[in-house]
């Protein structure tokens, strides 16, 4: 059952949501290289032996994802960086590029809790530093941009439970409501979609404007919750720059600047 606090806040947000500007498109699996062209910087973030989230390259050596992906959903402990891998453009058993993970950084304000709260979603963001940069002519990291507003059309590319072997794209879904810290979207997500990039497409260029944090249900309507990037990503980049100055050679692992209670990674359940 969805946390009551989130339900009540979401209801208040959706009451003021604008009318739909476009009908949501279907979720489509990108089965071939042609289908995936331009989207290979989205990848599958493997966590331990069986867990996974979705992530997106925003620099040759940096993957953007959700902070709760750093926690083992069974034991509740933070997963060591050496037990993670990023498979860029993963499709039907092969990836465009494979990389180990050398360092992971959660947002300084993120604090894991057994039950998700809206405040927790606000800082559910993490950066994954790869062991080696991915520099391929066919794979360009995504630029980021300011958050969309209620009524805007966005796109989502993700992996998820039941569709873990190919990326799926929903080219048209809507920002139902939002505030500076959280967005409520009509986008179709499921377990494994955590960390999936939300795109705004302008002049043929897709830019990441948000990251999927959770799924929820309000009055029987399925929605997704996402983290706007502008402020939290700036904070994360500054924290990463600071960590690079203080890290010693060969040190790797999860680094949480504050908080980080033990608990299992999860989505909100409708």
Q: Measuring CA to CA, how many Å separate 176 from each of 46, 141, 159, 181, 184?
A: 31, 28, 22, 14, 6
pTM: 0.85
Q: ∠ CA(168), CA(173), CA(178), 5° rounding? A: 125
**Polymer length of the chain:** 270
Residues 117-144: b if buried by 16+ CB within 10 A, e if exposed: ebebbbbbbbbbbbeeebeeeebebbeb
Q: Rounded CA gap, 4 and 15, in Å?
A: 17
- Answer whether residue 65 shows pLDDT above 90: yes
**Across the chain, what does the average pLDDT equal?**
84
First vs last Cα of the chain: how many Å apart?
Answer: 6
**171-194 per-position pLDDT tens digit:** 999 999 888 889 999 999 988 899
Structural domains of the chain, with CATH: 4-255 (2.40.10.120)
- Answer whether residue 256 shows pLDDT above 70: no
Structure confidence at residue 102 (pLDDT): 96
The encoded tokens of residue 270 equal 């409708």
């Amino acid at each position: 059952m969805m946390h009551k606090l989130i339900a009540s806040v979401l209801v208040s947000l959706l009451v003021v949501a604008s009318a739909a500007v476009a009908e949501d498109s279907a979720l489509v699996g990108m089965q071939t290289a042609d289908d995936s062209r331009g989207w290979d910087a989205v990848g599958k973030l493997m966590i331990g032996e069986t867990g996974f989230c979705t992530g997106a390259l925003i620099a040759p050596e940096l993957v953007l994802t959700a902070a709760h992906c750093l926690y083992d959903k069974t034991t509740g402990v933070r997963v060591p960086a050496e037990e993670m891998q990023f498979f860029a453009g993963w499709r039907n058993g092969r990836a465009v590029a494979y990389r180990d993970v050398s360092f992971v950084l959660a947002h300084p304000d993120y604090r894991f809790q057994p039950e998700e709260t809206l405040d927790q979603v606000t800082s559910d963001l993490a950066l994954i530093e790869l062991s080696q940069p991915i520099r391929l002519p066919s794979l360009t990291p995504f630029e980021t941009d300011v958050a969309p507003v209620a009524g805007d059309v966005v796109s989502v590319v993700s992996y998820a439970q039941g569709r873990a072997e190919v990326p799926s794209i929903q080219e048209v879904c809507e920002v139902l409501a939002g505030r500076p810290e959280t967005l409520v979207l009509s986008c179709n997500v499921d377990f494994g979609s955590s960390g999936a990039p939300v795109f705004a497409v302008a002049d043929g260029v897709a830019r990441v404007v948000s990251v999927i944090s959770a799924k929820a249900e309000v009055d029987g309507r399925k929605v997704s919750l996402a983290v706007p990037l502008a402020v939290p990503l700036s904070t994360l980049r500054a924290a990463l720059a600071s960590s690079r100055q203080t890290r010693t050679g060969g040190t790797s692992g999860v680094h949480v600047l504050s908080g980080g209670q033990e608990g299992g990674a999860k989505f909100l359940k409708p």
